[in-house]
Amino acid sequence: MRILLLWLLLPLGLFSQSGNLDDFALPPRQSPTPRPNQTSAQLQDEKAKNQRLEAVNQQLAAELQAANQRSDSLLKAQAGGQQEWDLWNEQNKEKYTRKVESTYWMLLLWLVGSFALILFGLYYFNFTAGLGRKKYHELMRLIDEDDTIPFDEKANRYPQNPHREETLGLPKGTVRGFLTITLLIANCLILYIIHYAPPSALYEGRLEYIKTAFLMMIAFYFGSKAVDALQVREETRRTLGADAGAGAGSQAAQPSPARPVSRALPELLPVTSPLRVSEPPDSKVLKSAGDTPDNTRPSREKCLSLTAYFETGKKFAEACGIVSGNFDGMGISFGCLQWNLGQGSLQPILQAYFDHSGDDWRNDLNLKQLHQVLQMPRPSQLDWAKSIQEQKGKTYTLFPEWQETFRYLGEKTRQFQLNAAGKLFDVAEGWCQDYGLTSERALALMFDIRVQNGLLYKGRVREKVRQRIENAGNPDEASKLVIIAEERANLSIATWRPVVLARKLTIARGRGKVYGAMVDLDDFGITMNDYA
């Protein structure tokens, strides 16, 4: 073993003494010699590749140097900005802090208030149909308790949100207006903060951006409203050039001077709906007599002419052509029972006229436009209705040419209006059958109750009427009518009860004073004969 170690260490000592360890250093690296099978083209490609790599390395080195220079400049700027901040901080820090806090609180208060208002609007329009909780549930109860409405039709009679086709079911423009006002307030608050902001703050250098955003916001709001208005006008007033020329040349008569449209009674809910739960106050007086007696007319037409007289103060022919503006948000109310666009009760009457009157209406530009409007969605119809009337305070009046158009339609749609009242008469006849009543006067009373009051069997009317009839010992039909009139009027609001009672007793007795004028049912041809 010792001999083996000596044999291994002896050469190492000899080399170290003679300095021959240097001979073990690696020889310098030599460039690779070309392989015998490598062509000159391949060598050139490899050389070009090496040159490209070298160029990339140089470019990276230059970018690194530029970045270092920018970093140095930024550090110097920050050092100078810090000095400026320290100077400002000593003078205005407390004031600036108060401004920022007050700004944040104002913005938060606005957002919370607006959010609460939107939640209220969602509830008011989407859950109570814009009527209020108490009235909405009262109307729902009346519909549910009305035995004259088929069960499968009750859902269609429930009050609906008039803005259900708009965003979130809110009135048109509500969401757009909220966003615009919010952006306006936010921009004003930012400008307010910038005025007191410290140097080198976050807002510095962004004033132009804020101004641009503000202008875009204004353009968004007013531009959208302008587009909506132009779209409505374009949809409602465009006609083909050839048709317009033909229509303009074929109009037979010029519009007559405007005559103010007035109603003898305060405005009520549309009578085509069973939602009438209130009665009119005694605020106006009937001034004209009824129609010329004509016992040959159908019973329904005579009864309709009487109720139309109570509702409008006009004879039946004139009442059919009465038109009112947007006093109740329904766009246009027209006819002897003031059907309207808002609840969709007027459209079927007008459409029936266009479908069954031939092509005469095609020569009138207003009628052509009205026909086009009927094909639009209901919100567009309401927008169009507002565009053909003027507002003075709380009074809405159609333009003279459109008043003339609807007066013409009143004559042409008389039968269609009578047909539209058919469902109301069906209910009235059902009430007559409940009490064994057969006279025209009975039909007139039940129909007037249906139009003015909505329901006959409200509260305990049914039980009270039957009890009084039994106590009277089977009275004649005229006496039964008086009992029904009195019991139904007693359910009216106390303020209006005398007016409702006078109107109903006038029908039951055949003669009386209503709204300050004497009314005789003989003037309307309504008798105690059986209705047909």
User: Would you list the domain boundaries of the chain?
Assistant: 91-237, 254-268+325-409, 274-320+413-532
* Tokens, residue 110: 């606005």
Identify which has the larger pLDDT, 324 or 28.
Answer: 324
Which residues on neighbouring strands pair with residue 517, listed in sequence order? 514
- What is the pLDDT confidence band of residue 152, given thresholds at 50, 70 and 90? low
Contacts (Cβ under 8 Å, ≥6 apart) of 341: 330, 331, 332, 347, 378, 381, 382, 385
> pTM of whole model > 0.75?
no
Q: What is the mean pLDDT of residues 507-527?
A: 92
Distance separating alpha carbons of residues 75 and 237, to the nearest angstrom = 67
Identify which has the larger pLDDT, 68 or 235.
Answer: 68
Given a cut of 50, whether residue 278 has pLDDT beyond it is no
Distance separating alpha carbons of residues 215 and 122, to the nearest angstrom = 30
Q: Which amino acid is at 227?
A: V
CA neighbor of 210 nearest in space, from 224, 192, 225:
192
Among 163-172, 285-294, 368-377, the range with the most confident prediction by mean pLDDT is 368-377
Mean of per-residue pLDDT scores for the chain: 75
For residue 159, the tally of other CB atoms under 10 A from its CB is 17
Q: Give 330-339 pLDDT, tens digit per residue.
A: 899 999 998 9
- CB-based burial, 132-143: b 16+ in 10 Å, e otherwise: eeebbeebbebb
Given a cut of 50, whether residue 314 has pLDDT beyond it is yes
Q: Report pLDDT for 23.
A: 46
Q: What is the mean pLDDT of residues 301-329?
A: 90
Whose structure tokens read 């010029």? 254
Q: What is the mean pLDDT of residues 228-242?
A: 48
Q: Report pLDDT for 34.
A: 52
Burial status of residue 356 (CB atoms within 10 A of its CB: 0-12, 13-18, 19 or more): exposed
Q: What is the mean pLDDT of residues 385-408?
A: 91
Distance separating alpha carbons of residues 453 and 307, to the nearest angstrom = 12
- What is the pLDDT confidence band of residue 381, given thresholds at 50, 70 and 90? very high
